[in-house]
Amino acid sequence: MKVLASLLALFVCVAQAQTYPARPIRFIVPDGPGSVGDLRARQVGAKLSENLGQPVVIDNRPGGSFMVGSAEAAKAAPDGYTIFLGSIVTHSLNPLLFKSLTYRPNEDFQPVTMLSAGVLVLVVHPSVKARTLHELIAIGKTEPDKLAYAAVGRGGPSHLAMEQLKSITGAKFLFVPYKSSGTYVQDLVGGHMPVALNYWSTLGPHIKSGKLRALGVASPRRLEAAPDIPTFEEAGVRGVDGYGWQGIFVPAGTPRAIVLKLQGEIARAINAPEIRSQLVETGTEIGGNSPEEFGAMIRRDQEKWKKLAADAGITPE
């Protein structure tokens, strides 16, 4: 009987995958319009919709250090009609920063595939006198908290990287939390916020236009998309981790056949020549790995940040 039940369950899963999707797919993004997550979701979602023959509808749910959107996705039906843009924040950092989460990163979600990864770029508005990272650090030392920097919430990659920079160098900059990176980039370009760290995919157009000045890349090597920007290490600052990732998840319990179909279609979408070239141009590492590989990567990332948080004396609040 157990064998028969297993075969029946397998038959049902295969049948589901063959007819899936039969209606629009909701794509929850826990950040606002114009953010790097939103841009990536719309870019890939359009191609995924084309490949699947069904609309992929972006549902922006910003707020609460990405917890609003995460909680919404966690309670969705596990039928493949809700996919979620998770990240280093939702799965590796939030558990270290908050005593009470509105979702369970490892229990409520199934990994599908990594979408993209990238490194942070430190920028200033042209009104800031610093033209190098060394000069910015000098301002942070001689005039503590004169310059403010923006980041999404507490504990995101940008916030932690900037706090690492402050700790390593002794410079002081005032942290101003925002609900969405799209909002603070607008303030940054408009001259209302002097300093920020974000990904090249978001900041690149503003750097190229001269609206923002890039001072450094928080990576051991320079960006292929912007080889003229020096690394933090070249400026004498070592130990700042500015690497972040984004990936696709579905609610726990989603049939494996559907998970595998989504993984294959997402990998096909991001490797389509027109999408791949856009990702490479924005200095992005392209994903598409298997659910198992992605899950193992997440576990390694969680352990890494757990150690970094412990070393930095960061405790959940």
Q: What angle do CA 120, 122, 126 make, to 5 degrees?
A: 145
Provide the pLDDT for residue 219: 83
Whether 240 shows a pLDDT value over 90: the answer reads no
What value does the mean pLDDT take over residues 224-231?
89
User: What is the residue extent of each domain of the chain?
Assistant: 2-117+244-312, 119-235
Do the Cβ atoms of 36 and 202 come closer than 8 Å? yes
Mean per-residue pLDDT over the chain, rounded? 89
Whether 244 shows a pLDDT value over 60: the answer reads yes
User: How far apart are alpha carbons 74 and 52 in whole angstroms?
Assistant: 23
Using 50, 70 and 90 to split pLDDT, how confident is the model at 312?
low
Provide the pLDDT for residue 5: 46
User: How far apart are alpha carbons 45 and 57 in whole angstroms?
Assistant: 8
Same fold, 2-117+244-312 and 119-235: yes
> CA-CA-CA-CA torsion for 56, 62, 67, 70, nearest 10 degrees?
0
Beta strand 285-286 pairing with 109-124: antiparallel
Q: Which two tokens stand for residue 96?
A: 């270290």
User: How far apart are alpha carbons 245 and 271 in whole angstroms?
Assistant: 17
Q: Which two tokens stand for residue 80?
A: 């493949």
Considering only residues 198 and 84, tell me which one the structure prediction assigns the higher pLDDT.
84
Provide the pLDDT for residue 16: 59
DSSP codes, the chain: -HHHHHHHHHHHHHHHHHH--SS-EEEEESS-TTSHHHHHHHHHHHHHHHHHTS-EEEEE---TTTHHHHHHHHTS-SSSSEEEEEEHIIIIIHHHH-SS-SS-TTTSEEEEEEEEEEEEEEEE-TTSS--SHHHHHHHHHHSTTSSEEEEESSSSHHHHHHHHHHHHH----EEEEES-HHHHHHHHHTTS--EEEEEHHHHHHHHHHTSSEEEEESSSS-BTTBTTSPBTGGGT------EEEEEEEEETT--HHHHHHHHHHHHHHHTSHHHHHHHHHTTPEE----HHHHHHHHHHHHHHHHHHHHHHT----
Report whether the peptide linkage leading into residue 21 is cis, meaning its omega lies within 30 degrees of zero: yes
Fold type of domain 119-235: D-Maltodextrin-Binding Protein; domain 2 (3.40.190)
CA quadruple 38, 44, 49, 52: dihedral positive or negative? negative
Number of other residues whose CB lies within 10 A of the CB of residue 265: 17
Residue type at 292 in one-letter notation: E
* Interval 1-53: pLDDT, tens: 555 544 444 445 555 567 899 999 999 999 988 887 898 899 999 999 999 99
What value does the mean pLDDT take over residues 85-98?
92
Q: How many CA atoms lie within 13 A of 56 on its CB side?
A: 24
For the domain 2-117+244-312, what is the CATH superfamily, name and number?
Bordetella uptake gene, domain 1 (3.40.190.150)
The label of the residue with tokens 């319990």 reads 253
pTM summary value? 0.76
* Interval 158-213: pLDDT, tens: 888 898 899 899 999 999 998 888 889 999 999 999 999 998 888 999 999 999 99
User: How far apart are alpha carbons 216 and 231 in whole angstroms?
Assistant: 5
